[in-house]
C-alpha cells in the first residue's frame, strides 16, 4: 500500500468539494480529492444559487465562464388552487451589495465541469476517481485515511493534516464524526420531473411558481435554456407508483404543457428533510454541505449552504496549515455556520407549510404587506453565528460590500483580502501579524467608513467582517485583541 501525504484531503468532488478545492488552491498547499464516481453525473440536480455564491465563484476565477451558462432568476410566486397570488418573492434585476444579481438559474453539470477544469492545471491538486473512503483515524497531528480503488480493488492510504467530508447525505465522514442530527420536523416525499422543451414556450412562466394546496402541492421552475422542472408532493392524489406511469405524469402536467412539446430528461423521487448534524468536527476531520445539513428545496439554498460552509472553512484550514494548528479558530467553523444555515432551513420549512396550505404567509421576518394588501418577501441574509470577533460588535459577522475600484490597478477590492485577513484604517499602521491597507486612496471605501462611522475594520477572506473599531478607540489595542484569536 502506497502512503500519500497532503495538507487537505477532500472527500467528495461535487460542487461543495470542488469549490473547497478551488478556494484552497489559492495557497501553496497540497490538496487531494477522493471521488467514488468515475465522472460527472450529467443530469440536473441543483438549479439555483444567489449573489453571495456568485461572489464566491468570482473569487475563484470562474465568473466569466459560468455567467454565460446562467439565466437571471426573476423570483418566486406562491399561488392558491385558483392561481390567486398569496405571497410574492421578487428578485429584482438589480446589483446587490455582493456585486451581482440576487438570483441565478444554472445546470449543475455545467458548473461542475467549469470547477474541475479550473483545477486541471494546478499541480498541487490530485484527484482520485473511483476512490471510496473506507477508514479514518485521527492520529493527533494528522489524519490517516484509507480508501479503495473500485476499479483495481486496491487499497491506499493518505496521511492528511485535515480531512473535509463533502460526501453528501450518506456521508462516510459524518458517520465517523457522529451520526446524531437535529431534526426540524419537515420530511416529505416529492417527485422531481426535469423536462426539455422541444421549442421555446412563451406561455410558461419565467418565474418559479409555488402551487399551494392541501391536495397536491407542486412547484414549477424556469431553468436554463429549454429546461423546466416540476416538483410534485407524493400523497393520495399523486403516488410513488404514478411517477413510473408516463400517462399519469403527462395528465398532471397537462395544465402547463403537452407531451408533444417536451421530453422528460429525468424523473426521480426525493425525500425532503430538515436536518443539521450535531457535530461538524472531530479533531482534524470536518463535514460540509449535505453531509452537515439537509434542507427542503423551496428556497433553493441547499447547494448554496454547502458553498457557504467551505467559504467559511477554507481560509481557517489554510491559516492552520501555514501557522500551526489553532483549535479555537477551527472550532468557530461549526458555531458560525450553524445559526446561519438554521435560519435558512426554518424559513424553508415555513415555505413548505405554506405550500401545503397549513401555514401562513409570514414565512420570515422579511415578509411585509404592500400598499395593495398583498404580501411581499425580501431575501434573508442571516449573519454568522457566534464565533470569531466580539458579540458586542454590531458589524461583526456581516458581509462587507463588493466594491469596484475606479482609479486603481486592482479592479475589485475583494482581491485585497481573498487569501488573508486585512486591516483597513484611515491611518498608517504596521503590525507583524496582519496585512494593512490605508484606505485614504480609495474614495469608495472611505464612503463606506463614513456611513458606518468607524475608524478601522478587519476583513476575513470569506468577505465577512471580523471586527470594527469606533472612531474614539485605540487601534493598537483593537488589532492586538482581534489577533489574539489566531494565537
DSSP string, 102-125: SEEE--HHHHHHHHHHHHTT-TTE
136-167: b (≥16 Cβ within 10 Å) or e: beeeeebbebebbeeeeeeebebbbbbbbbbb
For 3-181+275-369, CATH number? 3.50.50.60
Closest C-alpha to 299, from 278, 272, 276: 272
Provide, rounded to the nearest whole percent, the portion of the chain with pLDDT above 70: 99
- Chain-centre distance for alpha carbon 271: 20
d(Cα 459, Cα 448) in Å, to the nearest integer?
Answer: 13
Give the 3-state secondary structure of 229-253: EEEEECCCCCCCHHHHCHHHHHHHH
- Chain-centre distance for alpha carbon 478: 31
Torsion of CA 165, 171, 173, 176, to 10 degrees: 160
pLDDT at 249: 96
Q: Which tens digit of pLDDT belongs to each residue from 28-48?
A: 999 999 999 999 999 999 999
Sign of CA dihedral 327, 328, 330, 334: positive
For the whole model, what pTM was predicted?
0.97
373: pLDDT strictly greater than 90: no
Provide, rounded to the nearest whole percent, the portion of the chain with pLDDT above 90: 91
197: pLDDT strictly greater than 60: yes
The answer to which of 260-269, 308-317, 425-434 has the lowest mean pLDDT is 425-434
Do residues 238 and 191 make contact, with C-beta atoms less than 8 angstroms apart? yes
- Segments making up each domain of the chain, as ranges: 3-181+275-369, 413-486
pLDDT tier, 409 (very low <50, low <70, confident <90, very high otherwise):
confident
Q: Which tens digit of pLDDT belongs to each residue from 340-362?
A: 999 999 999 999 999 999 999 99
2: pLDDT strictly greater than 80: no
- β-bridge pairing 75-79 and 208-211: parallel
Query: For the residues 432-440, what does the mean pLDDT come to?
Result: 92
Q: In what order do the strands lie in the sheet with 454-459?
A: 435-438, 422-425, 454-459, 465-470
Do residues 291 and 306 make contact, with C-beta atoms less than 8 angstroms apart? no
The answer to which of 166-170, 248-252, 317-321, 483-487 has the lowest mean pLDDT is 483-487
- Chain-centre distance for alpha carbon 374: 31
d(Cα 451, Cα 453) in Å, to the nearest integer?
Answer: 6
- Chain-centre distance for alpha carbon 330: 19
Q: Which tens digit of pLDDT belongs to each residue from 237-277?
A: 999 999 999 999 999 999 999 999 999 999 999 999 999 99
How many Cβ atoms from other residues are within 10 Å of residue 242's Cβ? 17
pLDDT at 3: 60
Do residues 351 and 363 make contact, with C-beta atoms less than 8 angstroms apart? yes
Q: What is the mean pLDDT of the chain?
A: 95
Give the 3-state secondary structure of 161-175: EEEEECCCCCCHHHH
* Separation in Å, CA 404 to CA 64, 97, 133, 215, 478: 16, 11, 43, 49, 27
Amino acid at each position: 500500500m502506497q502512503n500519500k501525504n497532503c495538507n487537505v484531503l477532500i472527500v467528495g468532488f461535487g460542487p461543495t468539494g470542488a469549490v473547497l478545492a478551488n478556494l484552497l488552491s489559492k495557497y501553496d498547499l497540497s490538496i487531494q480529492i477522493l471521488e467514488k464516481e468515475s465522472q460527472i453525473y450529467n443530469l440536473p440536480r441543483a438549479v439555483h444559487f444567489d449573489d453571495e455564491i456568485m461572489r464566491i465563484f468570482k473569487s475563484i476565477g470562474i465568473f466569466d465562464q459560468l455567467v454565460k451558462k446562467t439565466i437571471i432568476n426573476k423570483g418566486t410566486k406562491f399561488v392558491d388552487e385558483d392561481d390567486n397570488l398569496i405571497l410574492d418573492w421578487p428578485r429584482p434585476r438589480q446589483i446587490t451589495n455582493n456585486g451581482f444579481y440576487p438570483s441565478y438559474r444554472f445546470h449543475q453539470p455545467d458548473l461542475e465541469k467549469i470547477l474541475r477544469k479550473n483545477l486541471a492545471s494546478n499541480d498541487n491538486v490530485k484527484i482520485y476517481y473511483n476512490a471510496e473512503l473506507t477508514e479514518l483515524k485521527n492520529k493527533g497531528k494528522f489524519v490517516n485515511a484509507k480508501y479503495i480503488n473500485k476499479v483495481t480493488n486496491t487499497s491506499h492510504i493518505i496521511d492528511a493534516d485535515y480531512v473535509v467530508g463533502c460526501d453528501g447525505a450518506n456521508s462516510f465522514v459524518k458517520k465517523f464524526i457522529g451520526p446524531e442530527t437535529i431534526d426540524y420536523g419537515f420530511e416529505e416525499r416529492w417527485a422531481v420531473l426535469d423536462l426539455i422543451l422541444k421549442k421555446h414556450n412563451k406561455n410558461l412562466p419565467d418565474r418559479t411558481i409555488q402551487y399551494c394546496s392541501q391536495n397536491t402541492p407542486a412547484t414549477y421552475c424556469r431553468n436554463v435554456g429549454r429546461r423546466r422542472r416540476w416538483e410534485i408532493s407524493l400523497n393520495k392524489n399523486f403516488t410513488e407508483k404514478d411517477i413510473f406511469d408516463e400517462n399519469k405524469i403527462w395528465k398532471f402536467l397537462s395544465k402547463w404543457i403537452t407531451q408533444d412539446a417536451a421530453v422528460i430528461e429525468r424523473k426521480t423521487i426525493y425525500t425532503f428533510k430538515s436536518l443539521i448534524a450535531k457535530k461538524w468536527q472531530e479533531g482534524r476531520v470536518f463535514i460540509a454541505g449535505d453531509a452537515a445539513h439537509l434542507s427542503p428545496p423551496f428556497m433553493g439554498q441547499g447547494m448554496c449552504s454547502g458553498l457557504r460552509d467551505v467559504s467559511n472553512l477554507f481560509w481557517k484550514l489554510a491559516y492552520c496549515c501555514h501557522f500551526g494548528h489553532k483549535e479555537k479558530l477551527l472550532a468557530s467553523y461549526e458555531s458560525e455556520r450553524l445559526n446561519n444555515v438554521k435560519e435558512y432551513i426554518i424559513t424553508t420549512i415555513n415555505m413548505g407549510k405554506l405550500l401545503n396550505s397549513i401555514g401562513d404567509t409570514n414565512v420570515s421576518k422579511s415578509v411585509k404587506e404592500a400598499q395593495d394588501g398583498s404580501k411581499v418577501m425580501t431575501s434573508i441574509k442571516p449573519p454568522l453565528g457566534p464565533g470569531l470577533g466580539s458579540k458586542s460588535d454590531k458589524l461583526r459577522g456581516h458581509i462587507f460590500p463588493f466594491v469596484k475600484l475606479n482609479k486603481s490597478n486592482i479592479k475589485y477590492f475583494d482581491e485585497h483580502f481573498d487569501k488573508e485577513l486585512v486591516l483597513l484604517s484611515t491611518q498608517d499602521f504596521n503590525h507583524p501579524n496582519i496585512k494593512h491597507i490605508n484606505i485614504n486612496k480609495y474614495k469608495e471605501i472611505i464612503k463606506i467608513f463614513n456611513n458606518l462611522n468607524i475608524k478601522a475594520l478587519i476583513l476575513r477572506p470569506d468577505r465577512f467582517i471580523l471586527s470594527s473599531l469606533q472612531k474614539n478607540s485605540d487601534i493598537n489595542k483593537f488589532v492586538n485583541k482581534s489577533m489574539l484569536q489566531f494565537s
